Amino acid sequence: MVTIKDISKRCGFSTSTVSKALNNSLEIGQETTAIIRKTALEMGYLPNTAARSLKTNRSNNLGVLFIDEMQSGLSHEYFSGVINSFKVEAERLGYDITFISHNIGNMQMSYYDHSVYRKCDGVVIACVDFSDPAVVELIHSEIPTVTIDHIFNDCTAILSDNLTGAKDLVHHIYEYGHRKIAFIHGENTSVTKRRLAGFHKACDALGIKVPDEYIKAARYHDPRSSGLATRELLNLPDPPTCIMYPDDFSFIGGMNEIEKHSLTIPDDISVVGYDGIYLSQVLRPKLSTFKQNTEALGKEAAAHLVESIVDKKTYLPKQIWIAGELWIGDSVKNLNFE
Amino acid sequence: MVTIKDISKRCGFSTSTVSKALNNSLEIGQETTAIIRKTALEMGYLPNTAARSLKTNRSNNLGVLFIDEMQSGLSHEYFSGVINSFKVEAERLGYDITFISHNIGNMQMSYYDHSVYRKCDGVVIACVDFSDPAVVELIHSEIPTVTIDHIFNDCTAILSDNLTGAKDLVHHIYEYGHRKIAFIHGENTSVTKRRLAGFHKACDALGIKVPDEYIKAARYHDPRSSGLATRELLNLPDPPTCIMYPDDFSFIGGMNEIEKHSLTIPDDISVVGYDGIYLSQVLRPKLSTFKQNTEALGKEAAAHLVESIVDKKTYLPKQIWIAGELWIGDSVKNLNFE
DNA sequence: TTGTATGCGTTATCAT
DNA sequence: ATGATAACGCATACAA
């Protein structure tokens, strides 16, 4: 391990001069800086992050906290898309990422503790249940945080535009002639609230009456609960002609249930998903869905988190809305040509 | 931040005693240890990883290096499955994970440099192209490494049993009456070599002759190239009755091509995938495939990597083979009842 | 503009 | 069994 001391010896400047030069300090003469940087490069110098971190209390490390209730981990395509994009942007900005979780070894610790333990300069939080006290503790701590899809006071939020998403879907379905639209929603989170609001707003605007029994609760990313909800909807005396699902993945549960009823999509029943995961585009019929821009979500999250770290004194929390895109597939029957 | 010093003051023992007690050193009396650990807990002490790492040259941090040529990142379900399982086991053993990559900020560094920079105690490597010199450099360095699906001398390898996988698929296809089996394979890696070997061995054993034009090269996780290969196969004067794909994901390219030819799976053409990703099970017809045990792969990788770190002196590199499982779907037509 | 000295929090060596 | 002290590599306050 070549250290600042080694460089210092090699080129005859003191360690502090070397240190300053390597940090592009303006105190040091240009020529000196050049020499020092050159020898550092030649010697293959790498800063010792531990020493630097000990001294500066910064780690160039960003924490990533994500938990979904289904424990899908990285196989949750929406989250993994966001995280991957977050990682790319974080690395571009000079940060590594560390996953934050409860238990490390036999140490039980809170998310906050883990973040402190790893000296994360900031943490991005994406999860379904933002009411978890451990999550709240972290958000209200002195550690800069950015949330995905949830608004906290004094914390920047990167938000997928769920209101518009739900609206756009309803409008699309309406344009195809449907008037009996059911909505299976996920856990009662702010995401769900906004989607429900978008759904009802659009229905109101279009003059569609939605019977209470057309609104069913299920869970995100859980085909089973969406399957059950689907069954209830199909068994209704006056069933809907189109079902909106919590997400593309959950729709699979509905799909199986629809198959069991010997119904065909979209001829007997229309459906739409949400997310625009890869799967949605290779199913037959292709699923109509609302594509969330995971790439932009992750990138913005990293950019704002880093900004809030660097400009800690002046940074003001923001809410960044990320637009999505309606993807029209073949899962909604066009009733206009009947 | 509560430090050892704070604990030392509070309970009247020296910092070194406290340090030893917290590390369960046998030098310290049981009673003393108990007192110290209790106050540490009360005060909410968390070790400072930077200081510890600076002193011990260990970080309790494992590097994860994964690169696929298609840049799919975490959306590559096979890798993300392995990594997620790796992460879970690593955390259980007291390690955090850090992603290793080339550029961090404006620093260009090799994978090895990055691993050193982050003081990784060990690195797990999963990628398509193990011939990359930067990967080889890391593997041959003093940093303990474990590879996934590739064997290097003096480096533990966790290997999915691709030979058996290909064999099992061929046998299944054969049992369903097929004799004209084509194989679209991925890049020329050791994984591909083993699958090809398994394919040919099985065909030989079953007395199947495989014309050269039934073997097509494509790329893993790349629907486009598999689509092209599929087209070539379908346009053959004597086309195969069953096509084996590099992986489930790539199969989608073949599926589209088959659709374009107005052929139906499995009535006109049978297919099998590889991997057993979620997608394969919700396609209609359900894809017959070989499920790789990503969970076991990740877990074993973490366990062996940690073992090689802890028992650095005595550890001997191993090769761990992980069995998979044939998943029979509906994508291979049973010709026996024709 | 450059150099000297100090301390971040921890562990390890050595002495008691 | 416990304590004093040094050192890990770096950044910085201060001196020159």
DSSP A265: T
Rounded (5°) CA angle B182-B186-B189: 125
What residues does each domain of chain A span?
A: 4-47, 61-160+294-322, 162-292+326-337
Contacts of B61 (CB under 8 A, 6+ apart): A98, B95, B96, B97, B98, B118, B119, B120, B121
What is the residue type of A26?
A: L
End-to-end CA distance of chain A: 75
pLDDT (tens digit per residue) in A324-335: 999 999 999 999
CA–CA gap between residue A301 and residue A159 (Å, rounded):
9
pTM above 0.85, yes or no: yes
Report the share of chain B in percent with pLDDT over 70: 99
Annotate B206-235 with DSSP letters as a single string: HT----GGGEEE--TT-HHHHHHHHHHHHT
pLDDT score recorded for residue A338: 65
B162-292+326-337, superfamily in CATH?
Answer: Response regulator (3.40.50.2300)
Decide if A312 contacts A271 (C-beta within 8 A): no
pLDDT score recorded for residue B73: 80
- Asked if residue B234 has pLDDT above 80, the reply is yes
Q: Which residue has the tokens 């049992």?
A: B175
**Rounded distance in angstroms from the CA atom of residue A24 to the C1' atom of nucleotide D9:** 18
Q: Which CATH number is B61-160+294-322 given?
A: 3.40.50.2300
Rounded (5°) CA angle B295-B300-B306: 135
pLDDT score recorded for residue B74: 84
pLDDT (tens digit per residue) in A31-88: 999 999 999 999 999 999 999 999 999 999 999 998 877 777 888 899 999 999 999 9
Total residues found in chain A within this entry: 338
Which of strand D's nucleotides are less than 7 A from any protein C-beta?
1-13
Mutate to test the interface with A, among B108, B282, B330, B331 (most CBs of A within 10 A): B282
Partner A contacted by B43 (CB < 8 A):
no
What is the residue type of B292?
A: Q
CA A280 from chain center: how many Å? Answer: 18
Q: What is the mean pLDDT of residues A107-124?
A: 92
Decide if B285 contacts B75 (C-beta within 8 A): no
CA–CA gap between residue B297 and residue A279 (Å, rounded):
24
Asked if A61-160+294-322 and A162-292+326-337 have one fold, the answer is: yes
Decide if B100 contacts B136 (C-beta within 8 A): no
Total residues found in chain B within this entry: 338
Q: What is the mean pLDDT of residues A288-315?
A: 95
Residue B206 buriedness (CB in 10 A; 0-12 / 13-18 / 19+): middle
Partner A contacted by B205 (CB < 8 A):
no
Among A181, A144, A155, smallest CA distance to A288 is for: A181
pLDDT (tens digit per residue) in B139-151: 999 999 999 999 9
Which residue has the closest alpha carbon to D7 C1'?
B55
Other C-beta atoms closer than 10 Å to the C-beta of B287 total 29
Copy the structure tokens of residue A263: 């119904």
Q: Strand pairing partners for A216? A: A184
CA–CA gap between residue B68 and residue B193 (Å, rounded):
18
